[in-house]
């Protein structure tokens, strides 16, 4: 598959974004909302697929111990209401946010699968200032990311 957009390098400032989530209507999540604490952005094609569900639930479990020391979000192009339904059904406390409106997150982070117009599977860790500290784009979208490496990178910032 071909990825559209700019390649995001470790060490650079993460591009600004505007994503949406369902909580008392549709709300907006921006990069500025994540700044001030290290953050992990888990990117999946769709929460309604087994690997994406596993990735989201695994990070939700593993990150629970870090509590409010970090920000964590799963990003997909699922509609915000579908994301909220998934989290409720699966008892996921991790925030989800959607790139469904403008697709600019996928383009700016180099994560849009050109052929499918979905986001590819990836993990991005940001420091408290919003710089990219770690990035993994999973080479085969049906495989899970390297949880240990992503969590180690995040823990180094806490």
pLDDT over threshold 90, residue 151: yes
pLDDT at 1: 83
Q: What pLDDT, in 10s, does the model give residues 8-59?
A: 999 999 999 999 999 999 999 999 999 999 999 999 999 999 999 999 999 9
Question: What per-residue confidence (pLDDT) applies to 143?
Answer: 97
Please tell me the predicted confidence (pLDDT) of residue 5. Answer: 86
147 pLDDT above the threshold of 90: yes
Phi-psi region of 24 (alpha: psi -120 to 50; beta: other; left: phi over 0): left
pLDDT at residue 50, as a whole number: 97
| pLDDT value for 52 | 97
Domain extent for 98: 3-156
> How far does Cα 91 stand from its chain's mean position?
18
* pLDDT value, residue 21: 97
Residues marked active site are found at: 52
First to last CA, the chain: 35
CB 40 within 8 A of CB 150: yes
Q: What is the pLDDT of residues 76-124, one digit of tens each?
A: 999 999 999 999 999 999 999 999 999 999 999 999 999 999 999 999 9
Residue 6: per-residue pLDDT = 83
Distance CA 69, CA 82 (A): 27
- State the pTM of this model: 0.96
Q: How many domains does one find in the chain?
A: 1
Residue 22: CATH number of its domain? 3.40.30.10
Considering only CA atoms, give the Rg of the chain: 14
């Amino acid at each position: 598959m071909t990825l559209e957009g700019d390649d995001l390098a470790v060490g650079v400032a993460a591009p600004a974004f505007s994503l949406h989530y369902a909580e008392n209507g549709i709300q907006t999540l921006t990069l500025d909302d994540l700044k001030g604490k290290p953050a992990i952005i888990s990117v999946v094609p769709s929460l309604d697929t087994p690997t994406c569900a596993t990735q989201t639930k695994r990070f939700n479990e593993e990150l629970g111990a870090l509590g409010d020391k970090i920000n964590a979000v799963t990003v997909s192009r699922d509609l915000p209401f579908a994301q909220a339904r998934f989290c409720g059904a699966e008892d996921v406390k991790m925030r989800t946010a959607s790139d469904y409106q403008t697709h600019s997150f996928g383009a700016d982070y180099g994560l849009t699968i050109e052929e499918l117009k979905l986001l590819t599977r990836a993990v991005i860790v940001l420091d408290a200032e919003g710089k990219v500290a770690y990035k993994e784009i999973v080479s085969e979208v049906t495989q899970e990311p390297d949880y240990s490496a992503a969590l180690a990178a995040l823990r180094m910032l806490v």
